[in-house]
Amino acid sequence: MARVAKKRTPKVVFDYVAGSAVDEVAYSRSRAAFARIELNSNVLRDVSAIDTSELILGKSVDLPICFAPTGYTRLMHHVGEAAVANVAAQKNLIYALSTMGTTSPAELAQLVPGSRRWFQLYIMKNRADTLAVVKQAKENGFEALVLTVDTPVPGLRYRDNRNGLTVPPKIRLDTIFAIARKPRWWLNLFTTGKLEFAAFRGWDKSLSELADLIFDSSTTFEDITWLRSVWDGPIVIKGIQNVEDAKAVAQLGVQAIILSNHGGRQFDRGPVPLEILEEVVAAVGTKVEVYIDGAVMSGLDALGAIALGAKAVFIGRAYLYGIMANGEAGVDQIVEIMRKEFVNGMALIGCRNIEEVRTNDARIRN
């Protein structure tokens, strides 16, 4: 799917999805860690009926694979966030809309009213701006807030710098050549509505100005307490990267955390989330639900993370490759490929349900 996506989208778009920070070491380490997962294989078990359902924040999903928030999704394919949410709704999964999304909370609620919608949030420099975005989420039936905490400042993404990534795209000389090579992508983009950060529609600020407003380097644990006072639904903290921080946020009354290094797109020498998963689950798993994201690229990756204790995994690049390759149908294909791998893996290790997967005695090889 990634190879097809690369053929169908301009280099600036593909590189935004495929790339990460600085030397792209953190993402490579995460991929390598998933490749080292080893699950115990039990034989002579009746696996004629496999149940992949799981409870996430008290409600059942058909598969513990959720859609992570990703910015600029209409840049990848003109169908955008609504297409991903629609696949999530049809398959009884969860979709998290990004603050940097190109579809607004109201638009998503109208287009896909039956979906389980979470909203990803940053604590902004002006708390009134944060409240305005929270209000949009609340008024449009979003179930949970996903507070991202690993972005006090933007990461250094050199691929994007070299490519001159802007939203909306600026017409430069190399852009003209890109249009000539990918005419269908550009035609779809420029005939399906203005590309913008939809949650901030009407703010009339440049990308750099918005980034300066959104990322607040003074955010602390106290802001989570403040957020709990203005939002009465579940709060998920995304971007936890060590056990002590996991313990600290668990004490603040949040419902879940996502172990995440932002897919390697922020700090390029940070820890690998998968390698601390078991320790974090042991420390806080009875207080909060623990999810993981970053480098989950197959059903077996997801199965391994669940076996190591994660309640669910979140995918980002995987479904973006799908949408770039084939629109909504591509997202659907990605889920079905991962589901098939997940179910096949469960059968081959002798597990009939998710609880049995978690007691499978999985490990990460040295």
DSSP helix/strand/coil, 4: helix
Query: In the numeric block, which tokens belong to residue 37?
Result: 């997962």
Q: Active-site residue 262, yes or no?
A: yes
Number of Cβ within a 10 Å radius of residue 92? 15
> Is the peptide bond prior to 105 cis by the omega test (within 30 degrees of 0)?
no
For residues 333 and 1, is the Cβ–Cβ distance under 8 A? yes
Q: Can you name the residues that pair with 259 across neighbouring β-strands?
A: 240, 292
Are the C-beta atoms of 112 and 80 separated by less than 8 Å? no
CA–CA dist 343, 338 (Å, integer): 9
Buried b (16+ CB within 10 A) or exposed e, 320-343: bbbbbbbbbebbbbbbeebbebbb
CA distance 361 to 356: 10
Helix (H, G, I), strand (E, B) or coil at 337: helix
Round to whole Å and give the CA distance between 269 and 350: 37
**Rounded to an integer, what distance in angstroms lies between the CA atom of residue 337 and that of residue 297?**
10
- Encoding tokens for residue 147? 């507070």
Task: Please say whether the beta carbons of 70 and 88 come within 8 A.
Answer: no
Among residues 6, 117, 157, 262, the one annotated as catalytic is: 262
Beta carbons of 126 and 150 less than 8 angstroms apart: no
Active site residues: 262
